[in-house]
Amino acid sequence: MSLCYQTHFNPVAVKPSASRRPPKRFLVCNLSVPTSAALEADPAPIFTSVKTFAPATVANLGPGYDCFGCAVDGLGDHVTLRVDSATRAGQISISEIDGFGDSGTRLSKDPLWNCAGIAAIAVMKKLGVRSVGLSISLQKGLPLGSGLGSSAASAAAAAVAVNEIFGRRLGVQELVEAGLESEAKVSGYHADNIAPAIMGGFVLIRSYEPLKLCPLKFPDDKDLFFVLVNPEFEAPTKKMRAVLPKEVGMSHIVWNCSQALALGAAVIQGDVRELGSAMSSDRIVEPRRAPLIPGFESVKRAALEAGAYGCTISGAGPTAVAVVDDEELGLAVGAKMVEAFMKDGSLMASAVVKRLDRVGARLVSSVV
Amino acid sequence: MSLCYQTHFNPVAVKPSASRRPPKRFLVCNLSVPTSAALEADPAPIFTSVKTFAPATVANLGPGYDCFGCAVDGLGDHVTLRVDSATRAGQISISEIDGFGDSGTRLSKDPLWNCAGIAAIAVMKKLGVRSVGLSISLQKGLPLGSGLGSSAASAAAAAVAVNEIFGRRLGVQELVEAGLESEAKVSGYHADNIAPAIMGGFVLIRSYEPLKLCPLKFPDDKDLFFVLVNPEFEAPTKKMRAVLPKEVGMSHIVWNCSQALALGAAVIQGDVRELGSAMSSDRIVEPRRAPLIPGFESVKRAALEAGAYGCTISGAGPTAVAVVDDEELGLAVGAKMVEAFMKDGSLMASAVVKRLDRVGARLVSSVV
């Protein structure tokens, strides 16, 4: 059974001023569904187990550094969550971690130090779960530290699993808040992976205090493919942050704001050419980080020469992401990028071509 | 006779890569119509006189500082341009300047030091005019130094007038380039007033080298009104520039890019609420400039309390601009803003409510 989580994303009317009709919204901000008051404390589970999936995400997209991200289809993590009498009531355990590479040995099974565990605990707290113990089995489909939102995918799948097993009582906003607790502990207080991992599509984080999430809808009738090229190289995350400038001069700020403005317009319009052009044009973050990824400059050049509309670093890297509007072209672009990583970075790399994920974290199956 | 200049704005195909169909474009960048090669040198005029109009413009719109602007309907400058045997062939003279306040005495009639004159000369040069002398009569409808693109309106009206009198041989890109020569001399090398003054609507300046202009189309079926409140106060332009920070920290950059991204999306979607919210949220420029405009903080607060979706400084000020989607509401908002300028800034002010201008500089009448 596949149950689309999308139902949660229906626009929720945000209190319009009394005198005016609420306008049709596209930036549905403050998605919070005010469910908390209606929640009974300590709810009973409606399933004995659920399986969920959450997609990989591409954060930053150039000038959208630390505020913008999107989900990609067909890559991600699965969580199986079970009501578990062997786990103390109100608590969670992690029974198993397997999947991509050595994820199983590198990730902690202590739920307080595992991104899926932290997110699950945060959701249980919001729901007021006290009488039921749960156990998580995490199946990693994403490499760690690749710049594809690996920790966010685990957190999103776990948060949604807990919510589903108790009858889907929380709204999107609460789930993102729960996931953000996990991200804050594991990879930094930023929502540009966890928000699209939960909500799907493109999501802009307009503010953190309060958390204001704005999905930007890419038109259904337009095609958008991401060419994701992951080299066998672990980006030194600390260095990736440390290399950022403390302060930036006005000319670069004006430039990046201009590209960000174009990026927002291009997403709504479904203009992949301009989306790519804007994504490729960051003058603040990418120029500092690119030199830390061997061969990246050549990889980007190869992508553009092969016909991609744009190319940048996915998240903090090392994955390089290019955009195209045609799958076959994407495969050709990916091959050239892999070649360039080897030629100029001496790195083995693999390429996949994936569509935009428009759904986000979702229930895959459930057992009553 | 009224002749809409809009015909020039039809999308001009930008060389698509050979293997793919050109996508439908909204960001029609590099509008340049490659007319120069086809131009005969020293063309003959097709009219003896023309009258043109160019609209006022609101530059910056908060996070779009120095790269974004739009045109407002029903406010602007007129130029009457005549073939004039008393003016030396290939040259231009300014016969008259009248209109708003003391514009007539404050503006130079030397065409080399007048924004209309400089733009007209630049267009004549591009056209290769050598055998005809022209004279300009400029009618200012805009106050000087108000933040409403007064110099750009004069330059745009003059540039379009010269182009029209010789049979409209230049495209939009060339006209903006000509206007930019004028802006560079008179108020600084920025195109965020001159581009929308010539092109109408919202225009994003993506780059200067080369000049890449991207019109962002606000939907035809949506209403957008600007409440423009101009206080009796001349903003000290030099101070307005001098007060800008030399460097800015990353958190403010991320914030402003996020708002710019939302602004671009809101314009394309015609979402006035989010447009206003983004426009209101600049944390880099407005906070530095606002204290130089007596009462501005109160004026902004009054606008928002009265129901405006957003409010900021128009251009370098002192005009305050608020946005609404209803004309009547706009009048109420304007009244509150005027009141606040008096109460907290001790400044007399006047308010107008104007629609978005979607046409730009245009021919109003012509005599053969």
Please tell me the predicted confidence (pLDDT) of residue B39. Answer: 55
Name B34's Cβ contacts closer than 8 Å, sequence gap at least 6.
none
Q: What is the mean pLDDT of residues B162-184?
A: 96
Q: What is the CATH number of the domain that holds A87?
A: 3.30.230.10
Q: What is the CATH number of the domain that holds A329?
A: 3.30.70.890
Interface contact B4, partner A, CB < 8 A: no
Active site residue B237: yes
Answer whether residue A40 is part of any domain: no
Q: How confident is the model at residue A240 (pLDDT cuts 50, 70, 90)?
A: confident
A-interface mutation test, from B202, B221, B257, most A Cβ less than 10 A away? B257
- Our CA-based measurement puts residue B154 at a distance from the nearest CA of chain A, in whole angstroms, of 26
Backbone angles phi, psi at A213, to 5 degrees: -105, 130
Q: Is the pLDDT of residue B5 over 70?
A: no
Q: How confident is the model at residue A6 (pLDDT cuts 50, 70, 90)?
A: very low
Helices (H), chain B: 103-106, 115-127, 150-165, 172-186, 194-199, 237-242, 250-269, 272-279, 286-289, 296-305, 327-345
Catalytic residue among A177, A181, A183, A274: A183
Please tell me the predicted confidence (pLDDT) of residue A29. Answer: 53
Q: What is the mean pLDDT of residues A237-261?
A: 93
Interface contact A205, partner B, CB < 8 A: yes
Chain A residues whose beta carbon lies within 8 Å of the beta carbon of residue B303: none
pLDDT digits (tens, 9 = 90+) for B307-344: 999 999 999 999 999 999 999 999 999 999 999 999 99
Q: What is the ipTM of this complex?
A: 0.89
Answer whether residue A65 is part of any domain: yes
Residues B230, B314 within the same domain = yes
Q: Which residue has the higher pLDDT, B31 or B100?
A: B100
Q: How confident is the model at residue B9 (pLDDT cuts 50, 70, 90)?
A: very low
Answer whether residue A8 is part of any domain: no
Q: How confident is the model at residue B18 (pLDDT cuts 50, 70, 90)?
A: very low
Provide the domain count of chain A. Answer: 2
Q: Is the pLDDT of residue B10 over 50?
A: no
What residue ranges in chain A does DSSP mark as E strands? 49-59, 68-83, 92-99, 134-140, 202-208, 211-216, 225-231, 247-249, 310-313, 320-324, 349-355, 362-367
Q: What is the mean pLDDT of residues A239-248?
A: 91
Residues B178, B294 within the same domain = no
What's the mean pLDDT when you consider all of chain A? 89
pLDDT digits (tens, 9 = 90+) for B107-143: 889 999 999 999 999 999 999 999 999 999 999 999 8
- Our CA-based measurement puts residue B23 at a distance from the nearest CA of chain A, in whole angstroms, of 8
Q: Are B269 and A27 an interchain contact pair (Cβ–Cβ within 8 Å)?
A: yes
Catalytic residue among B183, B286, B312, B319: B183
Answer whether residue A17 is part of any domain: no
Answer whether residue B312 is part of any domain: yes
Answer whether residue A11 is part of any domain: no
Q: What is the mean pLDDT of residues A256-285?
A: 98
Q: Is the pLDDT of residue B14 over 50?
A: no
Residues A70, A194 within the same domain = yes
* Whole-number Å distance between alpha carbons of A279 and A267: 11
Least confident of A16-25, A297-306, A359-368, B232-241: A16-25
Active site residue A237: yes
Residues B320, B244 within the same domain = yes
- Our CA-based measurement puts residue B330 at a distance from the nearest CA of chain A, in whole angstroms, of 13
pLDDT digits (tens, 9 = 90+) for A111-167: 999 999 999 999 999 999 999 999 999 999 998 889 999 999 999 999 999 999 999
- Would you say the C-alpha torsion A163, A164, A166, A168 has a positive or negative sign? positive
Residues A236, A309 within the same domain = yes
Residues A245, A334 within the same domain = yes
Backbone angles phi, psi at A190, to 5 degrees: -145, 145
- Our CA-based measurement puts residue B120 at a distance from the nearest CA of chain A, in whole angstroms, of 29
Q: How confident is the model at residue A104 (pLDDT cuts 50, 70, 90)?
A: low
Q: Is the pLDDT of residue B12 over 60?
A: no
Residues B61, B98 within the same domain = yes
**What pTM does this model have?**
0.89
Q: Which residue has the higher pLDDT, A114 or A39?
A: A114
Chain B residues whose beta carbon lies within 8 Å of the beta carbon of residue A218: none
Answer whether residue B10 is part of any domain: no
Residues A61, A191 within the same domain = yes
Nearest to A224 by CA among A54, A10, A58: A58
Instruction: Say what percent of chain B tops pLDDT 70.
Output: 89
Helices (H), A270-321: 272-279, 286-289, 296-305
Least confident of A72-81, A103-112, A300-309, B220-229: A103-112
Q: Is the pLDDT of residue A188 over 90?
A: no
Interface contact A223, partner B, CB < 8 A: no
* Whole-number Å distance between alpha carbons of B212 and A193: 32
Q: Which residue has the higher pLDDT, B40 or A347?
A: A347
Residue of A nearest to B253 (CA): A253
CA angle B281, B282, B286 (to 5 degrees): 120
Interface contact A333, partner B, CB < 8 A: no
**Can you say how many angstroms the Cα of residue B42 is from the centroid of all Cα atoms in its chain?**
30
Residue of A nearest to B267 (CA): A265
Q: Is the pLDDT of residue A107 over 50?
A: yes
Interface contact A260, partner B, CB < 8 A: yes
Residues A208, A65 within the same domain = yes
Please tell me the predicted confidence (pLDDT) of residue A38. Answer: 45
pLDDT digits (tens, 9 = 90+) for B229-283: 999 998 777 788 899 999 999 999 999 999 999 999 999 999 999 999 999 999 9
Given a contact cutoff of 8 angstroms between Cβ atoms, the answer to whether B145 and B106 are in contact is: no
Residues B210, B240 within the same domain = no
Chain B residues whose beta carbon lies within 8 Å of the beta carbon of residue A271: 23-27
* Whole-number Å distance between alpha carbons of A336 and A351: 10
Q: What is the mean pLDDT of residues B70-99?
A: 95
Interface contact B208, partner A, CB < 8 A: no
* Whole-number Å distance between alpha carbons of A93 and A103: 17
Please tell me the predicted confidence (pLDDT) of residue B31. Answer: 38
Of A23, A257, A258, the CB nearest to B273: A23
Residues B141, B114 within the same domain = yes
Residues A71, A176 within the same domain = yes
List the domain range (segments joined by +) for residue A310: 225-355
Please tell me the predicted confidence (pLDDT) of residue A303. Answer: 98
Answer whether residue A159 is part of any domain: yes
CB atoms closer than 10 angstroms to residue B145? 21
- Would you say the C-alpha torsion A58, A59, A65, A68 has a positive or negative sign? positive
